[in-house]
């Protein structure tokens, strides 16, 4: 008597699957292909043309399938020159000639390397990772080379510089600026100059880097303690910072200055 009951239960389960639209369920989807190690010759075939096995590019030795962006990366597309190769340097140099479409990033600044890493993050997010490219950044077994380690160290320097710059911008936000042929140049401060929102306006000053003749226009607080001495009874804000210079001909506490030739 147990067998019919079991069979009936099985039929009931099947009917439930059908009623729920699950009869066509086939289990978990197949796992994506295992990432592989490409040679430069192999990758050069992945340019999306006739007979090409796909549409791939590499950034810092990581290979991505950009087929979903064919209108941009396919033959005739505005970024087609990136495909079938690792042209890491061109992502930040803007040199899209053959000599510039290379993977050599030696000599790029930390900030440029950080920008390149942001491109790498973009491809990881938007496209399919297919493997690694043997050569500059990975060996034939897909293991990192010293060149990749060096590139990552420079990128980390870029992160630190960016953090320092963001902190400096909070203390010394960039000025607003304009130039017209009739009136010349002008810089001024507001509660949102330089895209930095705050509850004070400040006055324009030239901020110099140590040992450099170059400067940038910043807005400086004029009251309260100095930023590097928050417990001080000082009440001139950051006006006494030794890296600051006033604009010639501008009133010391004016929030707007005409830029004159020096």
| DSSP assignments along 46-98, one per residue | -BSSTT-S-BEEEETTEEEE-GGGHHHHSTTSTTGGGTTSB-HHHHHH---SG
- In eight-state DSSP terms, residue 187 is E
CA separation for the pair 262, 243 (Å, rounded): 18
Query: Which of 5-19, 63-77, 79-93, 187-201 bottoms out in mean pLDDT, i.e. has the lowest?
Result: 5-19
CA separation for the pair 54, 69 (Å, rounded): 12
Residue 30 has pLDDT above 60, yes or no: no
Q: Would you state the structure tokens that stand for residue 54, as one six-digit string?
A: 């796909």
pTM of the model as a whole: 0.70
Residue 5 has pLDDT above 50, yes or no: no
In the chain, list all ranges with CATH 3.10.120.10: 36-165
Domain 36-165 is classified in which CATH homologous superfamily? Cytochrome b5-like heme/steroid binding domain (3.10.120.10)
Average per-residue pLDDT for the chain: 88
Residue 162 belongs to what H/E stretch?
A: helix 146-171
């Amino acid at each position: 008597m147990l067998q019919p009951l079991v069979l009936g239960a099985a039929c009931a389960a099947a009917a439930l699957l059908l009623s729920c639209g699950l009869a066509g369920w086939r289990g978990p989807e197949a796992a994506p292909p295992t990432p592989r190690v490409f040679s430069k010759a192999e990758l050069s075939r992945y340019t999306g043309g006739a007979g090409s096995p796909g549409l791939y590019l590499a950034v810092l030795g990581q290979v991505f399938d950009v087929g979903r962006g064919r209108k941009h990366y396919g033959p005739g597309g505005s970024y087609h020159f990136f495909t079938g190769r690792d042209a890491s340097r061109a992502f930040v140099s803007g040199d899209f000639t053959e000599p510039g479409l290379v993977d050599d990033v030696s000599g790029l600044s930390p900030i440029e390397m950080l920008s390149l890493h942001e491109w790498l993050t973009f491809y990881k997010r938007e496209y399919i990772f297919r493997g690694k490219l043997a050569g500059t950044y990975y060996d034939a077994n897909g293991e990192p080379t010293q060149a990749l380690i060096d590139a990552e160290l420079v990128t980390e320097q870029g992160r630190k510089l960016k953090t320092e710059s963001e902190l400096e911008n909070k203390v010394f936000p960039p000025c607003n600026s304009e130039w017209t042929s009739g009136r010349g140049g002008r810089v001024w401060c507001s509660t949102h100059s330089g895209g930095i929102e705050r509850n004070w306006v400040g006055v324009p000053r030239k901020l110099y880097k140590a040992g450099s003749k170059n400067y940038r226009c910043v807005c400086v607080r004029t009251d309260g303690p100095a930023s590097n001495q928050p417990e001080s009874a000082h009440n001139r804000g950051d006006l006494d910072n030794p890296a600051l210079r006033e604009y010639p001909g501008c009133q010391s506490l004016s929030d707007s200055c005409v830029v004159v030739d020096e």
